[in-house]
Structure 1
Amino acid sequence: MDKVMASAALAVAGIPDGATVAVGGFGLCGIPSTLIAALLESGAQDLEIVSNNCGVDDWGLGILLRERRVRRVIASYVGENKEFARQYLAGELEVELTPQGTLAERLRAGGSGIPAFYTATGVGTQVADGGLPWRHDADGSVAVASPPKPTARFTVRGVEREFVLEHAITADVALVRAWKGDRAGNLVFRSSARNFNPLCAAAGRVAVAEVEHLVPTGTLDPDAVHLPGVFVDRVVELTPEQAADKRIEKRTVREAA
């Protein structure tokens, strides 16, 4: 099955207002920047975004925030994006902060058909007890707070501990970026750019992947494939310019001697 689309615009066409979109990346590493730009151009709004963070003010998911296309975010990190923090604190954006490992496992569970799981992470904190501010009022008070989550005690390795129940995350659409992919959607990621990408793709009902290098089906070593094509519905081949257009959040260099 050939899953290659003629353009990023066609690949994101049909994503409706109000959709839940899982987006791969960590900071600006491995983000599907071309698909995000195409989603902005599509006009979709009132989106719920599931991603580790929301890019920076002028790149990545930050451009959707800037244009007020995002209603709610599930993330583990708010830093590096001033507009994200401003909208959240001003009550313009709902944000469900979740521990980073828990976010990864919630996505993995969603992609695996597991509805929920217990974890020790967050026990004894507002993550489990509730009260984390999801949305503020304009005056800075808390308008919507996280609810308390069920807990239970289990004996693990001979020690009884308390665990908190976390629910899986699934998304209407997933946008991811891969280093290499074939026309059947089998994907290979490179180093740290893998990050949340495979998890997001598996958790999306429809997964769209932009790839830096498109190769014929059958040429990838099966042992090298990080995400099988069964999880991917649409593939977009990036131009050399798009593939090379990568940014970093902070550049730190030594002063010249």
Structure 2
Amino acid sequence: MTATAQAFGALHRGRAPAEPLVLPGPWDAASARVFEEAGFPALATPSAGVAASLGYADGAVPPREMFEAVGRIARAVSVPVSADVEDGYGLPARKLVGRLLDAGVVGCNLEDSWGRKDAAAPGTLKDPHEQADYLAAVRDVAGGELFVNARVDTYIRGVADLDETLRRARLYVEAGADCVYVIKAPVDVIPALRDGIEGPLNVVFLPGGPSPQELGELGATRVTFGPGLLFRAMDALRGVAEGLR
């Protein structure tokens, strides 16, 4: 395991309930430097934020451009960077891991639904056993070089079923995932997710919802923001633009 990957994994362990690991989501090299200068120990790129910065809709970025973009972000900072690479772009585990390591990142998000516009079944959940096999293959190739965050998409795909969510999460942990990310899980199920999942739990911060610290008290090990920080920056820029007009 590289020193950086090891350091990133260590950030997830031994955290107090009200002190989750807060990972801002940079969308380019400039925003990454801002977050590093603010003192954050690591960063996590959002695929939707990077897509917007490149002029694409979420899920429509050609894989080559996504890897190039996250590579620029990773090179711009000295802290560990994890990358959201959607469903892996249909790449075999060995090729996916190679591209991630070439980009200089130490972790990745892999989601369990088809989300790309050219996917075989857009907007539907994958078979959890097939997804677990893919995660196991990624773990086997990467060894300790990547921190694998397994995203569970039940709640954003209309399957608001806690038992099914936990079943998928446990399969992914057994397959070697280092962390589980149940995206947009209702706040009231976070304690049950914490109780039912072995290992770190990633929760997304949503505007108007609990603070990162409150999410930690509910059970989140780490808190990410998706493209939310880009949206806030764009709102601020619109205000600047209005003032200049």
Fold-level match, TM-score > 0.5?
Answer: no
TM-score normalized by the length of structure 2: 0.37
Structure with greater helix share of residues:
2
Q: Which structure: greater strand fraction?
A: 1
TM-score under structure 1 normalisation?
0.36
